[in-house]
Every structure is written in structure tokens, then in C-alpha cells.
């Protein structure tokens, strides 16, 4: 008789899908609420010319809080929450792709690279239109806009209500560029997030192996890390160290394209190459690092929650007959 407690990895077929998606949405929403202000700050830093308004991440945080209040740090948040759909599509694609690639390769690096890249491709196809609208809302400062479009004022004075602002931005994008406007920067997004997702997983395994010598020869996937005994390496500590280091590395490598992506989407530029050249001409090589610290700051807590919470999420989502199959 098979010992249920010997299941080494929680696979897709072991999960109660309804519970998995429900808990996944709750976890993702909690992450979004905590890191969204730094996403907004990163976007504003990347779009501004030089240091015309903000000197850096902390300066931007203080100025926005002082002039726009706490609500200013969450401009466009409600629209951005629709990306929860793409987040669940990412997870589903990642798991199913890993399962498919496993038929042809036992290499964890290959499975992670292909699955991460494929998941990002699917997610970005859903996310880009939402990002375009939410980023334009992020650019709406008190009394002015840092982007192409500005939310119109009510005839009787004062700003439009939240839903009215979103509708106004959507109409302006459509009138200016048609449906194509909602996919502006799509290629730049793919060139940013597919490499980011694809390299995150190999770097995660690299840092895990470097942090725990017992992993040096195998570098198992995150799901297998929980099978290590405390004497080998503390599981949660290993994840809490390896995840943020991988996120910081991937963010640093892909930040130049992320800056270009933000400018293409917010300023309405049509050429990635020309935008890249203009950025270098105006601000030099340092322009490619704009918003990097805010990006790393936002990625660190979310990565810790993801790498630690994702395994916990899968444990909580086990089918009832398999609940006793994993150690906590």
C-alpha cells in the first residue's frame, strides 16, 4: 500500500482547483495592496525627464504623500486589480507547461525556463491593455498629468469620480490610437517580462544551491525544497533568501527594457529602438536604471510572499484525500 506521506511534490492533479484559485486570488490581492505604491513610483520615475520632479524613490514617496495624500499612491489601483486574472493564468500556464516539458526533459532549469517564459507570454497578452489604462491613471497628479492624456474636469469644477476618470482615459486612448492603443508597448512588455520570468527561476535555483550546499548537485524546484530536513537547510529561510535575490537580479537585468516599455506605453511612442536611443541621448546610461530601486523594493516583499506562500497555498489546496500527505 502506498504511503501518502511520501508524495514528494504537489503536482497539478493533486490540487482542489476551486480552493487553489480562490486562495490564490486572495494572496495576490494582499501582495498588490502592499507593493502598489512602489509600482506607481517606479512608473513615474521612469517616465519623468531626468530628475525634473522626483529625486528618487524616497523623495517621490514623500512628495506624493504630501501633495496627493495616501490616495495618490493608489491611483489606477482598481483598474490594475483586473490583472488578477492574468496572475491566475500565469500560474496555470506555468504548472501545465512544466508538466508538459517534463515528458521531454528532466532538467529543472529547462522546465523552469520554458514554463516561466510561456506563462509570462500568456499573462502579458491579458495584462498589457490593463497596464496601459492604469499607467495613464498613475500619471494623473493633482492638477496636471505626466502622460499624454489628462483626466478632464467636471463642468461645475472638481475632478471626475473614479469610474468617470477611468472611462475618460479609455475614451481618450481609443480616440487617439484606436484599439491598437491598448496594446501599445506589447512587444516591449514581452521583451521585459518574458526574460524576467524566464531568468528568475534559474537564478532562484542558483541562489538556493549557493545558500545550501546540500542542493549544490541537484538544485531541485521550489516544491522539492520542502522535502529537505531542518538539519539540511531551513526551508522557509532558504526561500526567503533565494527568492528576493533572484528577483533583484532579474529586475536589474531587465530594467532597461522596463524603462523603455513604460515610456512607450505612457508617452505613446511607436518605436522601441528610437525610444531607447532617445533615452540614452537625453539621460545617458544611467537613464536605464531609472526606477530600479523602487522596482526591487516592490519585488522583494512580493517575492518572499510568493515563494513561501505559493507552496503553502498548494498545501492548503490539496484534495481532501491527500491532506495528510505533506509535512508542514
162-215 pLDDT, tens digit per residue, is: 677 888 899 999 998 898 889 988 888 888 888 887 788 778 878 877 776 554
| Residue 1: inside a domain | no
Does 113 fall in a domain? yes
User: Residue 208: what pLDDT?
Assistant: 76
Residue 294 maps to which CATH number?
1.50.40.10
Asked if 292 and 253 count as a contact pair (C-beta separation under 8 A), the reply is no
Q: Is the residue at 313 inside a domain?
A: yes
pTM over 0.75: no
Cell numbers describing residue 34: 502592499
Q: What are phi and psi of 156, to 5 degrees?
A: -85, 5
The 10s digit of each residue's pLDDT in 39-86 is: 999 999 988 888 888 988 899 999 999 999 998 999 999 998 888 888
Q: Is residue 4 part of a domain?
A: no
The answer as to whether 108 is a domain residue is: yes
Helices 57-68/292-316 angle, 10° precision: 80
DSSP string for residues in 61-99 = HHHHHHHH-GGGGGTTHHHHTTHHHHHHHHHHHHHHHHH
Report d(CA 42, CA 73) in Å as an integer: 11
3: in domain: no
Rg of the chain, C-alpha, whole Å: 21
Beta-carbon contacts of 247 under 8 Å, excluding residues fewer than 6 positions away, are 200, 296, 299, 300, 302, 303
Report the first-to-last Cα separation within the chain, whole angstroms: 23
Band of residue 9 on the pLDDT scale cut at 50, 70, 90: low
Cα separation, 199 vs 51, in Å, equals 31
Is residue 327, in this structure, part of any structural domain at all? no
Mean pLDDT to the nearest integer, 293-321: 75
Is the CB of residue 311 less than 8 Å from the CB of residue 222? yes
Q: Tell me which H or E stretch contains 31.
A: helix 17-47
Asked if residue 101 is part of any domain, the answer here is yes
CA distance 134 to 3: 50
Number of domains the chain contains: 1
Mean pLDDT of the chain: 79
What are the tens digits of pLDDT across the range 80-96? 888 888 888 888 898 88
Structural domain boundaries enclosing 90: 10-322
Amino acid at each position: 500500500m502506498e504511503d501518502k506521506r511520501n508524495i514528494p511534490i504537489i503536482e497539478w492533479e493533486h490540487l482542489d482547483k476551486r480552493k487553489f484559485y480562490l486562495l490564490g486570488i486572495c494572496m495576490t490581492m494582499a501582495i498588490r495592496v502592499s507593493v502598489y505604491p512602489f509600482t506607481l513610483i517606479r512608473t513615474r520615475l521612469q517616465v519623468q525627464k531626468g530628475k525634473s520632479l522626483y529625486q528618487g524613490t524616497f523623495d517621490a514617496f514623500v512628495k506624493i504623500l504630501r501633495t496627493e495624500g495616501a490616495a495618490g499612491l493608489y491611483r489606477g489601483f482598481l483598474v490594475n486589480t483586473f490583472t488578477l486574472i492574468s496572475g491566475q493564468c500565469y500560474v496555470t500556464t506555468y504548472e501545465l507547461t512544466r508538466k508538459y516539458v517534463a515528458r521531454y526533459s528532466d532538467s529543472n532549469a529547462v522546465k523552469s525556463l520554458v514554463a516561466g517564459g510561456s506563462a509570462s507570454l500568456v499573462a502579458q497578452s491579458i495584462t498589457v491593455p490593463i497596464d496601459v489604462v492604469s499607467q495613464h491613471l498613475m500619471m494623473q497628479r493633482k492638477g496636471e498629468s505626466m502622460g499624454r492624456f489628462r483626466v478632464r474636469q467636471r463642468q461645475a469644477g472638481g475632478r471626475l469620480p473614479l469610474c468617470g476618470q477611468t472611462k475618460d482615459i479609455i475614451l481618450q486612448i481609443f480616440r487617439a490610437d484606436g484599439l491598437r492603443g491598448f496594446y501599445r508597448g506589447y512587444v516591449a512588455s514581452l521583451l521585459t517580462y518574458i526574460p524576467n520570468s524566464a531568468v528568475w527561476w534559474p537564478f532562484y535555483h542558483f541562489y538556493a544551491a549557493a545558500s545550501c550546499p546540500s542542493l549544490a548537485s541537484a538544485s531541485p524546484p521550489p516544491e522539492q525544497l520542502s522535502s529537505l530536513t531542518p538539519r539540511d537547510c531551513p526551508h522557509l529561510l532558504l526561500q526567503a533568501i533565494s527568492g528576493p535575490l533572484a528577483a533583484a537580479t532579474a529586475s536589474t537585468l531587465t530594467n532597461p527594457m522596463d524603462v523603455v516599455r513604460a515610456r512607450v506605453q505612457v508617452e505613446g511612442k511607436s518605436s522601441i529602438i528610437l525610444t531607447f536611443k532617445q533615452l540614452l541621448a537625453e539621460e545617458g546610461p544611467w537613464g536605464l536604471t531609472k526606477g530600479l530601486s523602487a522596482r526591487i523594493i516592490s519585488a522583494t516583499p512580493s517575492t518572499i510572499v510568493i515563494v513561501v506562500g505559493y507552496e503553502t497555498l498548494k498545501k492548503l489546496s490539496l484534495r481532501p484525500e491527500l491532506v495528510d500527505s505533506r509535512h508542514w
